[in-house]
């Protein structure tokens, strides 16, 4: 081993976001040659806790696994239970679920779109992106009742409804978001300092993306057009047209562009939903019984494919709830993205997979 080889610890406190993960990096000079990921700092035993609570309490518990994709957890959990019990949810409820999901996706993507400039030191764009995102937070607060945890889903439907007035308000807010979003997209595409720090950095080639089974924007930035909303439609997605954003280069810049395009696509999907949504009931009107059985359901969370597995035994408490979150395959791919790049690029590479540590370690 040459004299200039040494190990440096990154984390576990405040690596990119305020979430703990510990990297042991082998560097040669300033170049990363290998890494070791050490996780488990925020393990709270939530999967075990779901087996101590009844199906309805778990709606709230699963929503609190993570904050940015909080809606997808109870959403997928409900889909798994509905599949298990053979429940058909009302059509209006499917649309309302889709609207809530896409609003969360815009807010989540705009957060990461702000974080990438923040990591490379472009803090004024970060502030601007967060200010633009604030309109989505206001939307969530006034339509759903909370800035992060929407509490939308319930077994057999949704717990909210939107009036014509609220529908107009959503359309207006989204219309006002379009211009700043286009502006941010243009800045990200053309700004020399952003491109210098993100283009050709943290490259994940297509073959490696397949080998590591990455999902979500990370996969789509490496040229894999895999989007659960398209390949395996759930909720109202089979009635909508969704165009997944795909980039070919697989670098940090591509992942940023994929998120920018997806945020714009989400606006389009919500407008479609509000236009097509039929009148009707939003829930079953009773609390369904969940029979014994097992089921699996998946959805496209802002970070990628989220899979829920549920096994029940006829009691009000599930026998097993297990989920696989998108960050799990994505952070393994850091083993490909990091070696060969400089120490200064590490945080932007980690930030580009939009890691959700609290989901992954639950």
Partner 1 sequence: MIRFFKVILKNIIQGPSTIKYPFEDSPAPEKLRGKIVHNADACVACHLCEYVCAGGAIKMQESEDHQGIDFVVWHDTCTFCGLCEYYCPTKAIHLTNDYHTAHVQADKYNYVEKTFVKKQPCICCGEPMVPISPAMVEQIYGQEGDIRGLSKMCPQCRRKILWKGGVSKS
If binding is defined by CB under 8 A, does position 87 make contact with partner 1?
no
If binding is defined by CB under 8 A, does position 64 make contact with partner 1?
yes
The one among 186, 196, 320, 322 contacting partner 1 by CB under 8 A: 186
The one among 39, 125, 174, 263 contacting partner 1 by CB under 8 A: 125
**Residue 325 Cβ, how far from partner 1 at the closest point, in Å?**
20
If binding is defined by CB under 8 A, does position 60 make contact with partner 1?
yes
If binding is defined by CB under 8 A, does position 61 make contact with partner 1?
yes
The one among 42, 187, 246, 284 contacting partner 1 by CB under 8 A: 187
Nearer to partner 1 (CB atom), residue 153 or residue 299 = 153
Nearer to partner 1 (CB atom), residue 14 or residue 196 = 196
If binding is defined by CB under 8 A, does position 121 make contact with partner 1?
no
Q: For partner 1, which stretch binds (CB under 8 A), given 40-48, 96-104, 191-199, 206-214?
A: 191-199
If binding is defined by CB under 8 A, does position 198 make contact with partner 1?
no
Q: How many residues bind partner 1 (CB under 8 A)?
A: 33
Binders of partner 1 in range 133-172 (CB under 8 A): 134, 141-146, 149, 151, 154, 159
Binders of partner 1 in range 255-284 (CB under 8 A): none
Distance CA 255, CA 172 (A): 28
Query: If DSSP states are collapsed to H, E and C, what string results for the chain?
Result: CCCCEEEEEECCCCCCCCCCCEEEEEEECCEEEEEEEECCCCCCCHHHHHCCCCHHHHHHHHHCCCCCCCCHHHHHHHHHHHHHHCCCCCHHHHHHHHHHHHHHHHHHHHHHHHHHHHHCCCHHHHHHHHHHHHHHHHHHHHHCCCCCCCCCEECCEECCCCCHHHHHHHHHHHHHHHHHHHHHHHHHHHCHHHHHHHCCCCCCCHHHHHHHCCCHHHHHHCCCCCCHHHHCCCCCHHHCCCCCCCCCCCCHHHHHHHHHHHHHHHHHHHHHHHHHCCCCCCCCCCCCCCCCEEEEEEEEECCEEEEEEEEECCCCCCCEEEEECCHHHHHHCHHHHCCCCEHHHHHHHHHHCCCCHHHHHC
**Residue 270 Cβ, how far from partner 1 at the closest point, in Å?**
18
The one among 183, 207, 276, 319 contacting partner 1 by CB under 8 A: 183
Give the closest residue to 353 by CA, choosing from 148, 242, 201: 201
Distance CA 106, CA 304 (A): 14
If binding is defined by CB under 8 A, does position 56 make contact with partner 1?
yes
Nearer to partner 1 (CB atom), residue 58 or residue 261 = 58
If binding is defined by CB under 8 A, does position 287 make contact with partner 1?
yes
Nearer to partner 1 (CB atom), residue 184 or residue 356 = 184
If binding is defined by CB under 8 A, does position 238 make contact with partner 1?
no
User: In the complex, which residues of this chain contact partner 1 (CB under 8 A)?
Assistant: 53-54, 56-61, 63-64, 124-125, 128, 131, 134, 141-146, 149, 151, 154, 159, 183, 186-187, 190-193, 287
């Amino acid at each position: 081993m040459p004299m200039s080889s040494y190990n440096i610890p990154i984390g576990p406190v405040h690596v990119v976001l305020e979430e703990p993960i510990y990297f042991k990096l082998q560097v040669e000079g300033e170049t990363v040659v290998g890494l070791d990921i050490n996780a488990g700092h925020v393990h709270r035993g939530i999967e075990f806790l779901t087996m101590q609570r009844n199906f309805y309490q778990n709606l709230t518990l699963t929503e609190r696994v993570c904050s940015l994709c909080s809606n997808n957890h109870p959403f997928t959990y409900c889909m798994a239970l509905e599949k298990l019990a053979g429940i058909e949810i009302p059509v209006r409820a499917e649309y309302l679920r889709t609207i809530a999901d896409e609003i969360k996706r815009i807010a989540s993507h705009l957060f990461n779109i702000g974080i990438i400039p923040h990591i490379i030191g472009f803090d004024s764009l970060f502030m601007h992106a967060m200010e633009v995102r604030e309109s989505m937070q206001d939307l969530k607060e006034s339509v759903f009742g909370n800035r992060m945890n929407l509490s939308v889903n319930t077994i057999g439907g949704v717990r909210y409804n939107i009036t014509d007035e609220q529908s107009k308000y959503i359309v207006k807010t989204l219309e006002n978001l379009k211009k700043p979003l286009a502006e941010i997209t243009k800045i990200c595409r053309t700004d020399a300092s952003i491109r210098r720090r993100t283009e050709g950095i943290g490259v994940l080639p297509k073959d490696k993306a397949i080998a590591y089974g990455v999902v979500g924007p990370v996969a789509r930035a490496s040229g894999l057009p895999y989007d659960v909303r398209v390949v395996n439609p759930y909720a109202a997605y089979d009635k909508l047209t969704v165009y997944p954003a795909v980039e070919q280069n697989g670098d940090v810049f591509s992942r940023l562009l994929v998120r920018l395009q997806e945020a714009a696509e989400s606006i389009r999907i919500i407008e479609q939903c509000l236009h097509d949504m039929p009148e009707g009931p939003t829930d079953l009107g009773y609390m369904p019984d969940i029979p014994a059985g097992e089921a699996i359901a998946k959805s496209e969370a802002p970070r990628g494919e989220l899979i829920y597995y549920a096994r029940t035994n006829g009691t009000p408490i599930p026998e097993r709830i297990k989920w696989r979150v998108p960050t799990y395959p994505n952070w393994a791919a850091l083993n490909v993205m990091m070696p060969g790049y400089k120490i200064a690029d590490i945080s932007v590479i980690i930030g580009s997979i939009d890691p959700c540590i609290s989901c992954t370690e639950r």
